[in-house]
Structure 1
Amino acid sequence: MNADPSVIAEIVGATAIGVGLMLAAAGLGSAIGWGLITSKALEGIARQPEMRPQLMVNMFIFAGLMESFPFILFGVSMWFLFANPFVGTLASMAGGG
């Protein structure tokens, strides 16, 4: 018994939609995070200008940590697209599993 190609196409299509939503949410979250980080750093600099170097260093450290999440999510989404575990599960179930 072989896996039906239309079922595989549905799985791949649904996975592509899910990956698109994942990447859109990561991009939106990253943009909001950058905006919040920079606005709070500018507020701190406006309140205490002598703290500018320390605030800038902290801003870039936190921005780097925040920016790593979309890249991790990008790697996971590429795994879903190119090594789709759902298609493999369907194939093993259809193969007599």
Structure 2
Amino acid sequence: MHSDPQQIAEIVAATAVAVGLMLAAAGLGSAIGWGLITSKALEGIARQPEMRPQLMVNMFIFAGLMESFPFILFGVAMWFLFANPFVGTLSSLAGGG
């Protein structure tokens, strides 16, 4: 028994939609994170201007950590897009394996 091309097309289409949602969420989360990080840093600098160097260093450290999330999610999304595990699972189930 072979897997149906229609089922494979549906899986690939659903995966493409899911990848689009993943990348949109990563972009939105990154933008919100940058906004929160910089706004809080500016609030801290406005309250205590002498702490500016320390606050800027901390801001860039946390911004770098926050920015790694979209890149990790991008890697996972590309894995789903190009090495789709669901198509392989369908093929192995259809093959009786």
TM-score by length of 2: 0.98
The residue number in structure 2 matching 1:10 is 10
SS in 2 for 1:3: coil
Q: Give every structure 1 segment of 4 or more consecutive aligned residues whose post-TM-superposition deviation is greater than 6 Å.
A: none
Which 5+ residue runs of structure 1 have no aligned equivalent? Answer: none
Note the alpha carbon deviations across 1:21-78, whole angstroms, 9 max, x for none.
Answer: 0110111010000000000000111111110000000000000000000100000000
Distance 2:41 2:80 in 1: 37
Number of aligned pairs?
Answer: 97
Map 1:63-74; keep pairs closer than 5 Å. Answer: 63-74=63-74
Provide the aligned C-alpha RMSD in A: 0.5
Identity of aligned residues (%): 90
Q: Deviations over 1:69-95 (max 9, x none)?
A: 010000000000000000000000111
What is the TM-score with the length of structure 1 in the denominator? 0.98
Counterpart position of 1:45: 45
